[in-house]
Amino acid sequence: MQITEPEITEKTAAKLGITAAEFEKIKQNLGRTPNFVELSIYSVMWSEHCSYKNSIKWLKTLPREGKRLLVGAGEENAGLVDIGDGIACAFKIESHNHPSAIEPYQGAATGVGGIHRDIFTMGARPIAALNSLRFGNPDTNHMKGLVRGVVKGIGDYGNSFGVPTVGGEVFFDDCYNQNILVNAMSVGIVRVGETVSACADGPGNPVFIVGSRTGKDGIHGATFASADLHEESHEDLPAVQVGDPFQEKLLLEASLEAIKTGAVVGMQDMGAAGITCSTSEMSAKSGTGMRIDLSKVPTRQANMHAWEILLSESQERMLIVGKKGEEQPLYDVFEKWDLECVQIGEVTDTGMLEYFYEGEKVAEVEAETLVLGGGAPVYDREFTKPAYMAEVSKFRLSKVDHADDIKAAARKLFSLPNLVSKRWVYEQYDSMVRTNNQSTNAPSDASVVRIKGSKKSLVVTVDCNSAYVHADPYVGAMIAVAEAASNITCTGGVPVAITNCLNFGNPYNPEVYYQFVNAIKGMGEACRKFNTPVTGGNVSFYNQSQVGSKTEPVFPTPTIGMLGILEEQSHLMTLGFKNEGDAIYMLGNVHNDLNSSEYLRNVLGIKYSPAPQFDLHEAFEMQQLVRQLIRKNWLCSVHDVSDGGLFTNLMESAIASGLGFNIETVDTFRKDCFLFGESQSRVVVTLPASRDDEFQNYLVNQNVSFTKLGEVFGNSAMIDNENFGSVSEWKAIFDNTLGEKFG
């Protein structure tokens, strides 16, 4: 191969994020110095975003096996779980953080589009979307712009694409002031045995690019996602892709129809690193190679360079390996949907990726050397306990003053942006399209999605309190898994499996890597306890910002996307109170605990404290109990105690129903701890007062700690015979605070 470009040096490699050692390894792989196209290929494939080179060692320690799993973790574009009745569920969560911080509308929109493609590339039809959003101070104009852009981007893309957004979470903290987090999750269903793999089997088989034309948007997007944000990051705007949801809708229908022709061997979305990633991963998986003619790739702009075509992350594109001799059915399907389908190459038996452009071979690379699990580098980073954790260990509740006015404290707490309704956000999303969402009119702790043609429903949630993980990465990550499982359990479902989106700072920072390692350990232990294997997900490092000489990582944020199954519709539980006079019980142990609570952090302004009290076995046993009680048909409502503590829990149930409550606190505990503390593994349930004796006897026999709080009563919040105000008054605060803030 003739190399006509200037000599490639370590300096050239460094500009593309390749270290000196990696540059030497590339030269060894090739047996020569790479040209610029080849160096560009390695730069994206060996980026953290594609190779997981700083995380894969620890990811492999997570539980990745289960009787319901149909594919191994990381083997396909998404996890695949058998949910019975001949139906499988494909689901996955991924980040689009840096693009959203730079261009919030397109960054968030293309995050939604990309995760849906991972689902329908496997042959599954997306039926639900969720998201986890982290923003900084909501009172600054800059953050208001980011919030509005992200929410509109998600809403416009998802609404146009026709998949309902059924759930999610929004969390505000100053640590996200410069680097917001946008995590998008998609859930789809497919008949067992009708999926397609991301493989390139069969030398001689044709390789097609289908969907949109290739442009210059998103070039080096994977590299952009594998570096810190800084004051000049806006200059990387070309790394942000541009989405077209209507084109994606056509691509969805065409792809699913193409699979039914039987002419598809393998299919993969062109996400990070575009053609480079799809051709290399599919080839490496099958032990094959490809010959690709980049001149045949339909482009939006004239005179694109070969490396630009290879690295472009233009949206709404797929790579398909078809069966030789059966090309016409594929052409016919895509022509029907008015989409381009162009053969750009063929599968070979060499194991090599050979890229040609205008008659010249511009790159030749062994596929196996590029990919995760193959020749991509794997690093074992040093880690050390963060210095701030010394401040965490100094916290003493005894030094925290009791609230002088508990009613005023409750009002201030319940007005916090993390606790009020996210109605302003979710009303911009279409939650009803396709008429499968069962949580619209009667909210539950998790979202419920009906499966047409089956008695079952999916129960899905996304969860992570990153303040807990910051306080204690190990315990905080366990709580994230347990909280997700609790939300599914309290809705009447059974937790089945998780996908995760691991958002952390720079892995070369030993304190950040300590957070990552210990969060993985905690997550793994909790997943093993709840029998929820990890089906796959996404690692997003470099979530920190450089402002001048100061570098600030975000809170470690291992977002958990959990899938559960509702076996019987009679088990479906909601969180709203049902009947005046119903008894209100809190199951679980009460503690004098304000650790890392919204009240402590954002009302009292105390930044450092441990994670809330948590015991993994206790959490597991509590969920077993709640499932038993639901199946006995004793309960009228179920709602777990989480962010904001017991007061927020009760108020959410009251607002959902319009019914008030009359409760008494227990004087052996601090009143602020009892009402506002966030100690874990507690669930509030209501039931007819006529069952009081039977219920209490059952709990005693089960050796369960419980507190009878009071009863559903009137339309006001009564605590210790003091009227805290009408439910309608609290509802106005709950519903309108965020909308008034963002307009």
Give the number of other Cβ atoms within 10 Å of residue 433's Cβ: 16
268 bridge partner residues? 319
Separation between Cα atoms, residue 372 and residue 374, nearest integer Å: 5
Which of 280, 269, 260, 240 lies closest to 115, judged by CA?
269
Q: Closest Cα partner for 190 from 103, 123, 98?
A: 123
Q: Are 263 and 178 in contact (CB under 8 A)?
A: no
Q: Give residue 332's Cα distance to chain centre.
A: 36
How far is it, in rounded angstroms, from Cα 250 to Cα 242? 17
* Cα angle value 137/143/149 (rounded, 5°): 140
Asked if residues 343 and 270 have their Cβ atoms less than 8 Å apart, the reply is no
Beta-carbon neighbour count of residue 720 at 10 Å? 14
Cβ–Cβ under 8 Å, residues 266 and 282:
yes
Are 300 and 317 contacting, i.e. CB atoms less than 8 angstroms apart? no
Q: CB neighbours of 34 closer than 8 A, spacing ≥ 6?
A: 8, 26, 27, 42
**Residues 711, 689: contact at Cβ < 8 Å?**
yes
Residue 646, both tokens: 């017991």
3-state secondary structure 459-497: EEEEECCHHHHHHCHHHHHHHHHHHHHHHHHHCCCEEEE
Q: How far apart are CA 564 and CA 186, in angstroms?
A: 14
- In the set 49, 98, 116, 470, the catalytic residue is 49
Distances (CA, A) of 238 to 102, 217, 263, 323: 10, 5, 36, 36
Give the chain's count of helices (H) and strands (E).
Answer: 25, 27
List, edge to edge, every strand of the sheet that includes 87-95: 79-84, 87-95, 181-191, 125-135, 165-172
| Residue 96 is a catalytic residue | yes
Residue 674 CA to residue 671 CA, distance in Å, equals 5
Separation of alpha carbons 686 and 676, rounded Å: 20
User: What DSSP character marks residue 403?
Assistant: P
How far, in Å, CA of 736 to CA of 743, rounded? Answer: 10
Contact assessment for residue 737 and residue 417, using Cβ atoms and an 8 Å cutoff: yes
Q: How many CA atoms lie within 13 A of 390 on its CB side?
A: 5
**Strand 544-547 versus strand 534-540 pairing type:** unpaired
Number of Cβ atoms within 10 Å of the Cβ of 359: 7
Spatial neighbors of 286 by CB under 8 A, at least 6 apart, are 199, 200, 201, 266, 347
CA-to-CA distance for 42 and 17, rounded, in angstroms? 10
DSSP secondary-structure letter at 172? Answer: E
Residues in the chain: 743
Query: Strands, E, within 146-270: which ranges?
Result: 165-172, 181-191, 206-211, 229-230, 264-269
Whether residue 49 lies in the annotated active site:
yes
* Neighbouring-strand partners of residue 561: 462, 499
Active site residues: 49, 96
